[in-house]
């Protein structure tokens, strides 16, 4: 099963509810026309901080893709193959072939590996669901999973998303999940951070979430949760803001969000950046959407670069080429990433790099 075969995660799709009806835009209904490629420096060379990209093991077979990654980023995040959906087989055993290939690529190319993601409400494999209600046995399996994964990539991991998308959709409290039910709404998070720290004494451990720019209330709950984790002694070392946004995002929104997320003083990871054309409210014409997209790319770069150096953990694109984006499953004409299908830089890449000059 490849990433592209599977249904998209429920999470960020539901931003549609937030935005009202996300219309299929006039310009997005026809097959994507690649905008004229532009010239842009390699992304990493433009930045004074680590630049990352989400990748899938199968893509690494393609030498052109591998070269694009090596030229533009210094960090990779497995897009889905270090999640429970891949690692935990139905019988509860672990599969490490694809994650190992990704880690080997990182080692060979001298890239940082960003582990994603240990605990996610959206994934609770049968291997865990079948465990009996006894807290001890379930708790042991939970710890064992985290120790196995974090321990295996200790030599190459630069960070881990420990808890992903813990805050409720509307920002009112936290999400329910198998983990919350069996181990406690707050306790399962503290435990996950502690187990990850047990497996790797030094790696920065992240809380990661989305819509933090669209929903100030969700951002406030996210920051309160981070403070509560720290107060409970959880080894939280950074905050991830996914930043799946649309081309009509109001100017200033990212600056405000990234600035506030940094207010706790922890390192910040823009962890899954992409800028959707088709999720923008319309109708709008494609050239306008692309201009808006480039503007959002520039604001994201500027807002991140404005953070104190010690807080700029990394800026990660959720893929490099448009054809690889998860958003294509929602609308085949979307084109949210910095490179076109052929791996040529787009206006967004140029604007992102120019904003860092």
The CA distance from 333 to 32, in Å, is: 5
Examine residue 326 and tell whether it contacts ligand 9MR (CB under 6 A): yes
In three-state secondary structure terms, 192 is: helix
Examine residue 274 and tell whether it contacts ligand 9MR (CB under 6 A): no
Integer CA distances (angstroms), 149 to 39, 112, 163, 254, 261, in order: 40, 16, 14, 33, 28
Q: Between residues 81 and 353, which has the closer beta carbon with respect to ligand 9MR?
A: 81
For the CB of residue 48, give the shortest distance to ligand 9MR in the complex, in Å: 26
Active site residue 165: yes
Examine residue 242 and tell whether it contacts ligand 9MR (CB under 6 A): yes
Residue numbers 78-107 binding ligand 9MR by CB under 6 A = 79-80, 83, 85
Residue 323 corresponds to which tokens in the numbers above? 């054809």
For the CB of residue 326, give the shortest distance to ligand 9MR in the complex, in Å: 3
Q: 211 in the Ramachandran plot: left (φ > 0), alpha (ψ -120 to 50) or beta?
A: left
Active site residue 29: no
For the CB of residue 9, give the shortest distance to ligand 9MR in the complex, in Å: 4
Q: Between residues 79 and 290, which has the closer beta carbon with respect to ligand 9MR?
A: 79
Integer CA distances (angstroms), 46 to 51, 103, 124, 312, 356, in order: 10, 25, 39, 14, 6
Q: Between residues 299 and 324, which has the closer beta carbon with respect to ligand 9MR?
A: 324
DSSP state, residue 210: S
For the CB of residue 161, give the shortest distance to ligand 9MR in the complex, in Å: 8
For the CB of residue 209, give the shortest distance to ligand 9MR in the complex, in Å: 9
User: Which residue among 81, 272, 290, 299 is the active-site one?
Assistant: 272
Q: Between residues 305 and 313, which has the closer beta carbon with respect to ligand 9MR?
A: 313
Examine residue 154 and tell whether it contacts ligand 9MR (CB under 6 A): no
Examine residue 334 and tell whether it contacts ligand 9MR (CB under 6 A): no
Strand partners, 207: 163, 239
User: Which residue among 165, 213, 290, 299 is the active-site one?
Assistant: 165
Q: Would you say 290 and 302 are in contact if contact means Cβ atoms under 8 Å apart?
A: no
Q: Would you say 163 and 207 are in contact if contact means Cβ atoms under 8 Å apart?
A: yes
Q: Would you say 181 and 142 are in contact if contact means Cβ atoms under 8 Å apart?
A: no
Examine residue 302 and tell whether it contacts ligand 9MR (CB under 6 A): no
Q: Between residues 9 and 303, which has the closer beta carbon with respect to ligand 9MR?
A: 9
Residue 184 corresponds to which tokens in the numbers above? 């406690």
- Candidate segments 44-52, 77-85, 93-101, 102-110, binder of ligand 9MR by CB under 6 A: 77-85
Examine residue 217 and tell whether it contacts ligand 9MR (CB under 6 A): no
Examine residue 11 and tell whether it contacts ligand 9MR (CB under 6 A): yes
Examine residue 3 and tell whether it contacts ligand 9MR (CB under 6 A): yes
Examine residue 328 and tell whether it contacts ligand 9MR (CB under 6 A): no
In three-state secondary structure terms, 32 is: coil
Q: Between residues 311 and 325, which has the closer beta carbon with respect to ligand 9MR?
A: 325
**Chain-centre distance of CA 135, in angstroms?**
31
Query: Phi/psi at 88 (nearest 5 deg)?
Result: -95, 105
3-state secondary structure 225-290: HHHHHHHCCCCCCEEEECCEEECCCCCCHHHHHHHHHHHHCCCEEEEEEEEECCCCCCCCCHHHHH
- Work out the end-to-end distance of the chain between its first and last CA atoms, rounded to an integer number of angstroms: 42
For residue 189, which of 92, 117, 262 has the smallest C-alpha distance? 117
Examine residue 169 and tell whether it contacts ligand 9MR (CB under 6 A): no
What number of chain residues touch ligand 9MR (CB under 6 A)? 15
- Candidate segments 7-15, 129-137, 182-190, 347-355, binder of ligand 9MR by CB under 6 A: 7-15
Catalytic residue set: 165, 272
Binding site for ligand 9MR (CB under 6 A): 3, 6, 8-9, 11-12, 79-80, 83, 85, 164, 210, 242, 272, 326
């Amino acid at each position: 099963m490849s990433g592209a075969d599977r249904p998209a995660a429920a999470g960020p799709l539901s931003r549609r509810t937030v935005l009202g009806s996300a219309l299929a835009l006039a310009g997005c209904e026809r097959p994507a026309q690649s905008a004229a490629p532009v010239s842009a420096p390699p992304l990493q060379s433009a930045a004074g901080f680590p630049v990352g990209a989400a990748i899938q093991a199968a893509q690494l077979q393609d030498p052109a893709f591998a070269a694009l990654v090596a030229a533009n980023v210094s960090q990779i995040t497995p897009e889905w193959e270090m999640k429970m959906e891949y690692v935990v087989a139905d019988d509860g055993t672990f599969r490490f072939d694809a994650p190992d290939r990704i880690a080997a690529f990182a080692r060979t190319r001298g890239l940082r590996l960003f582990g994603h993601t240990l605990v996610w409400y959206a994934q609770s494999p049968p291997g865990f669901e079948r465990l009996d209600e006894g807290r001890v046995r379930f708790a042991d399996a939970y710890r064992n999973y985290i120790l196995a994964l974090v321990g295996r990539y200790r030599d190459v991991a630069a960070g881990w998303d420990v808890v992903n998308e813990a805050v409720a959709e509307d920002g009112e409290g936290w999400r329910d999940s198998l983990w919350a039910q069996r181990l406690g709404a707050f306790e399962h998070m503290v435990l996950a951070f502690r187990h990850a720290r047990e497996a790797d004494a030094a790696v920065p451990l992240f809380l990661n979430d989305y819509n933090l720019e669209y929903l100030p209330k969700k951002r406030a709950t996210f920051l309160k949760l981070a403070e509560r984790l720290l107060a409970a002694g959880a080894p939280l070392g950074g905050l991830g803001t996914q930043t799946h946004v649309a081309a009509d995002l109001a100017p200033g929104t990212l600056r405000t969000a990234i600035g506030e997320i940094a207010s706790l003083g922890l390192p910040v990871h823009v962890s899954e950046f992409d800028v959707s054309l088709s999720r923008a409210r319309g109708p709008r014409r494609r050239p306008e959407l692309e201009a808006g997209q480039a503007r959002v790319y520039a604001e994201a770069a500027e807002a991140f670069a404005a953070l104190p150096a010690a807080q700029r953990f990394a800026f990660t694109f959720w893929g490099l080429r448009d054809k690889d984006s998860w958003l294509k499953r929602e609308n085949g004409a979307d084109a949210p990433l910095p490179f076109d299908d052929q791996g040529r830089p787009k206006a967004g890449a140029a604007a992102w790099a120019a904003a860092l000059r």
